[in-house]
Structure 1
Amino acid sequence: MTIHYIILAHKNPEQLERMYQRLNAPWVKFYIHVDRKVSILPFQSLLNKYENAYFLNDDSRENGTWGDIGIVKGTINALRIAVGKDNPGYYVLLSGQDYPLQKNETIKDIFRQNPEIDYITSYPLPHSSLDQGGIPRIEKYKVNKSDKRGHFLFLPSVYEKEFYSLETAGKINFLRKNNQYGDILRTFKRRRFPHYLKPYSGSQWWAMKEESIRYILNFLDVNPDYLKYHTYSLLPDEMFFQSIIQANGYKTKIESSKTYVNWEKTSGPLPVTFELNDFKELSIASKNHLFARKFDIYKDREILDEIDKKLLK
């Protein structure tokens, strides 16, 4: 069995190489998508020497703006390349700021012993954990104002009462001033989630068996409008794959994601960037998770040293 790591990277090449070295094994392959907005050269200079590390070329690289469809497209591009290698196994989506909490042999054994399971956190929309149940993400047009994180606006259609408000007038005026007339015209079409699926949401990070990956890619070939619809969704990376896997007619056993992320800390930016004083939390998380995010070696390198010494030794 081959473990295919799909990695979305945008910073810290040295940290990515360190993660590669911890996850590398004879049964592992890496498919690395580097955000189109950054130079790929620093990443290639460190990882091109490894025969099982494949970089997506410029034609397959996407703009990784937060909450945008580019992240999903980059993932799909990497999956198509990985599946084309025809090495049966599990497919694991990681970011370049992830790190393992378990040894390689343990990771392999868990996937090998549970070949019927897709580890992808998913719950139906609307959901109480999300603002307004998450419905604006799928029924309003999300239009970027810039590439900055969170710099977007929600636009209702002309068929919604909310459209006829001073707030919407201000948004329309902003788009007009920036010559985004195509986005204005979109409001003449009501936006609804594709009728052939029910909307689900959940964590972006997952691990799925090959049968499910092939099902997803075939689904996209048959339903190209699904990807096009999500061009105007907020955070499609947290809905796109969940909704397909939960489709009527596809039977699979689903369990929660194996990547640990802390979204609950009351202070500081979220998700938490783990530091040395978070080791106890990560040690407990390692009992049910295989990976964690996120880390930053320029903020705290010692937490990775501690994981190496205490969990991966």
Structure 2
Amino acid sequence: MNYIYAVICHKLTEPLIFTIHTLLKSPLSIIILHIDNKTPNNEVIRIKKKLGDHPNLLYVPEKKRIDVRWGGVSQIEVMLLLLRLAQRYNYKYFSLISGDDIPLSSNKSRESFLNIAYSNRIEFIGYNPVHNAQQRLAIKYPSYFYNKDHSIMGKLCRKIFILYAKYFRTLDISHLPTLYKGSTWFTLTHEAVDYILDYVEKNPKYLNSFKYSLCGDEVFFQTIIFNSLFRYKVYNIENNIPDCERGMRYIDWVSGPSFPRELDNSDFIKMKQSGMLFARKVKSNIDQKEFEFFLL
């Protein structure tokens, strides 16, 4: 059986080139690539020219591409689109990654790890038990929240709005199951993917409840999985580890200056020693030859 890698990107980067070309060296890799619908056509052409044609590389058709906005429901919609496209294939695991991510081991090592994990149907998805997921959905967020404005004024405006919204812009989410929050990026068995899509189809109000959410993509899939029997198969669920590590991703939320940190070659040793499947997010202009370090 195959391994699906669903990639969300909006521009051509060195990590994207390395990741696609590396994964395609394995006959078991199937890549579904979504290029953001707002990406200029000349950039789309550059991406396709650089990545090339391959029988195991599927570009999401232009008519199905989504304009993905940070923090908005469109992030959930593109993830559901990729999950549905994956159902065309026979596969063991579906891994969601971005154009800024790279694999941290050879195809052989990663496939060996996942093959053993699949024999026990282990799911790799993050979960943060101390996070208040309710606030992500209980407020009707305005459109300006979906801009990454890190200025002091921007942060102040958002804080003031939330104080106001708790009284005047609240939404009734009492119909929803217990909410769980975790890292967006996951690796799930085809059984878990089928369960998610079946749940969404049978509960149409569930997706609609995320229409005005903020970063609801970090709640949508976790809530379905952790309210099901799949929760007992989540990797390291009994241990207190960072939720991104439960998804087998190396993500630095500590060092800064950006959060998450943009990883460069000074992070390579820690990335390699982490034992994770993928790292994000990696600086876009790192020389291709430096990435070979992870395939040794």
TM-score (norm 1): 0.79
Which of these residues, 45, 67, 74, is aligned with residue 71 of structure 2? 67
Match of 1:296 among 265, 283, 287: 283
1:161, 1:295 → 2: CA distance? 36
1:247 and 2:247 are equivalent in the alignment: no
Structure-2 residue corresponding to 1:7? 7
Aligned residues of 1:121 and 1:202 also touching (Cα < 8 A)? yes
Work out whether residues 72 and 146 of structure 2, in 8 Å CA contact, stay in contact via their aligned partners in 1.
no
Cα displacement (A) at 1:307? 3.9
Q: Shift in Å at residue 21 of structure 1?
A: 1.1
**Hey, what does 2:116 align to over in structure 1?**
113
User: How far off its partner does 1:88 sit?
Assistant: 2.7
What SS is found at the alignment partner of 1:72? helix
Q: Given residue 31 of structure 1, which amino acid in structure 2 is its aligned partner?
A: I
Q: Work out the CA distance in 1 between the residues paired with 2:282 and 2:162.
A: 37
Letter in 2 for 1:277: S
- SS in structure 2 at match of 1:18: helix
Counterpart in the other structure of 2:102: 99
Q: Secondary structure at the match of 2:271?
A: helix
The 8 Å contact of residues 201 and 239 in structure 1, kept in 2 or not, is answered as yes
- Give the CA deviation at 1:103: 1.0
Deviations 1:51-82 (A, max 9, x none): 21111122322122111111211111111111
Instruction: Check the 8 A contact 1:138/1:234 in 2, yes or no.
Output: yes
- Kindly provide the amino acid, as one letter, of the partner of residue 113 in structure 1: I
Match of 1:183 in 2: none
* 1: CA distance, partners of 2:68 / 2:253: 21
Higher relative contact order (CA 8 A, sep 6+): 2
| Partner residue, 1:312 | 295
**In 1, Cα distance between the equivalents of 2:74 and 2:124?**
23
Q: Which runs of 5+ in 2 are unaligned?
A: 236-245
Mapped partners of 1:252, 1:214: distance in 2: 17
Give the equivalent residue in structure 1 for 2:267: 278
Q: What is the alpha-carbon distance in structure 2 between the residues aligned to residue 63 and residue 92 of structure 1?
A: 21
Hey, what's the Cα distance between the residues in 2 that align with 1:41 and 1:228?
34
Matched positions, count: 273
252 and 33 in structure 1: CA distance in 2 versus 1, 3 angstrom threshold: farther
Q: Which of these residues, 162, 172, 196, is aligned with residue 216 of structure 1?
A: 196
Q: Is the 8 A contact 1:145 1:153 kept in 2?
A: no
Give the direction of change, closer, same or farther, for the CA distance of 1:251–1:66 in structure 2 (3 Å limit).
Answer: closer
- Give the conservation status (yes or no) of the 8 Å contact 2:13–2:100: no
From 184, 200, 218, give the equivalent of 1:238: 218
| Identity value in percent | 26
Pairwise CA RMSD: 2.4
For 1:193 and 1:123, locate their aligned partners in 2 and report how far apart those are by CA, in whole Å: 20
> 1:193-230: CA deviations, max 9, x gaps?
36342100111110000000000001111111111111
- For structure 1, which runs of at least 5 residues remain unmatched after alignment? 164-186
- Structure with bigger strand share is 1
Instruction: Tell me the residue number matched to 1:168.
Output: none
Distance 2:191 2:213 in 1: 27
What is the alpha-carbon distance in structure 1 between the residues aligned to residue 10 and residue 166 of structure 2? 40
2:253 alignment partner in structure 1: 263
Question: Letter of the aligned partner of 1:274 in structure 2?
Answer: L
Aligned to 1:180: none
**Contact 1:68–1:234 (Cα < 8 Å) also in 2:** yes
Superimposed CA distance per residue, residues 75-132 of structure 1 (whole angstroms, 9 cap, x where no aligned partner): 111111111x2313210000011001111011111111111111001134xx2xx5xx
Which of these residues, 54, 77, 80, is aligned with residue 76 of structure 1?
80
Q: What is the distance in 2 between the residues matched to 1:41 and 1:147?
A: 27
1:280 deviation in Å? 2.2
Q: Which has the larger radius of gyration?
A: 1
